[in-house]
Structure 1
Amino acid sequence: MLPAYLPNPFAAVFGGGRPIDGGKTMSDGRRILGDGKTFRGFFAGLICGTLAGLLQMRLIESYPVILGAQLPAFGTGGLNTTIVVFALAFGSLFGDMFMSFFKRRMGLKRGAPLPVVDQLDFVMGALIFAYLASPYWFSEQFTFKIILVILIITPLLHLVTNVIGYFIGVKKEPW
């Protein structure tokens, strides 16, 4: 899940600049996504998540005994590996943006908490895109137990990383 966990924090760190929605509003008068979703952040997150996944795969290939991993972690290598890690990273960012769209429709301002959704939107996006990219790989890697562990651990990791981001000044809210 590293390629899915890293894109959003890196998008926050390297973000800023032109918003993806171009400042446009919907017919309800609310922004489409808001200022927090920028092109620079999106592409920085996508690159960092993809590179992290490729590095993770390289480490697993080079040191499988030390890391206790069994191949294939992200597929059979080569293009398939790149597609899967890209899908996890892209899906993570897409899931977060998708829910930002709905949070704006609900009248929630940027940074307003939406418990559970805020902690799992990017995970759902990553899982859906990974499945679409490689259904066979997905069904081999993401068993019911693995998905359950992800759904339990992710909110805890999300809270810890957001509090850290708040204290180092990257996030305006600690949630």
Structure 2
Amino acid sequence: MIEILLIALWLMVPAYTANVCATLLGSGTPIDLGKNFFDKKRILGDGKTYKGFINGSLCGAIMGAAQIMALPYIAPHFTNAAGDALITASYIAIITMPVGALLGDMTKSFIKRRIGFDRGEMLPGADQLDFVAGAWLLTYIFDPAWFASNFTIWVIIMAILVTPPLHLLSNIIGFRIGKKKVPW
């Protein structure tokens, strides 16, 4: 169980990093430029900014590149019975995981606006796993072999279980340091 937890956390680091850094390093011009959709509601809202998207994506990719550099020292400790590494590197995934995470978060914001949720209003489940779904979907589209070889069913389950409490903890910290308006 511990090994699966460590692998899930390791694989999710670029997405987690992007999600946190978009909040910490984002501000300025909203991606939707303050415009409304056909339903007269904001497209995304002020919380989704160009600066946050770019900085979050870059930080996630940089973290992924650092993981690839560290992989030779870490992967030998995580092998299957045949001695094959359970964690492999993907230069595609270090881009798709963070970018996908932020696109997933934006997609959730778009949907929340359509169903009448205001910025910061909680939508349980979606608020904690939107970025995970986006990271996985974009990575699966562009690097399905890497995704399938690393994200086994047990790793997926573990990531789904561990992400909500980690997300809540990071949001509480963001709230306390003044980077989030709500602690969820």
Query: Is TM more than 0.5 here?
Result: yes
Hey, what's the Cα distance between the residues in 1 that align with 2:88 and 2:112?
32
Letter in 2 for 1:53: G
Structure 2, unmatched stretches of 5+, are 1-11, 80-84
Where do residues 27-106 of structure 1 align in structure 2 (5 Å cutoff)? Answer: 27-61=38-72, 63-64=73-74, 68-69=77-78, 71=85, 73-75=87-89, 81-106=90-115
Q: Following the alignment from structure 2 to structure 1, what is the Cα–Cα distance between the partners of residues 17 and 77?
A: 22
How many equivalent residue pairs?
168
Aligned equivalents of 1:143, 1:166: Cα separation in 2: 34
Q: Which one of the candidate residues 108, 116, 119 is aligned to 1:107? A: 116
Runs of 4+ aligned structure 1 residues displaced above 3 Å come to 69-75
Give the distance between the partners of 2:144 and 2:91, measured in 1 at CA. Answer: 15
Residue 24 of structure 2 is aligned with which of 6, 13, 27? 13
CA–CA separation in structure 1 for the residues paired with 2:126 and 2:23: 18
Q: Post-superposition shift, 1:29?
A: 1.1
* Matched residue, 1:78: none
Cα distance in structure 2, aligned partners of 1:86 and 1:4 = 9
By how many angstroms is 1:74 displaced? 4.5
Q: What is the TM-score of this pair, normalised by structure 2?
A: 0.87
Give the conservation status (yes or no) of the 8 Å contact 2:22–2:55: yes
Which residues of structure 1 form unaligned runs of 5+? 76-80
Partner SS for 1:107: coil
Q: Deviations over 1:55-100 (max 9, x none)?
A: 0111122x237x834547353xxxxx32111000111000000000
Retained in 1: the 8 A contact 2:86–2:150? no
Q: Deviations over 1:14-57 (max 9, x none)?
A: 11111101111012111000110000000000000000011011
Q: Which residue number in structure 2 is paired with residue 164 of structure 1?
A: 173
Q: Which has the higher contact order (CA 8 A, sep 6+)?
A: 2
* Matched position secondary structure for 1:82: coil
Once the two structures are overlaid, the 10-residue window that deviates more, 42-51 or 136-145, is 136-145
Confirm or deny: 8 A CA contact 1:50 1:82 kept in the other structure: no
User: What does the per-residue CA deviation read over 1:102-140, in whole Å, with 9 as the maximum and x for residues that have no partner?
Assistant: 000011111000000000000000011111121111111
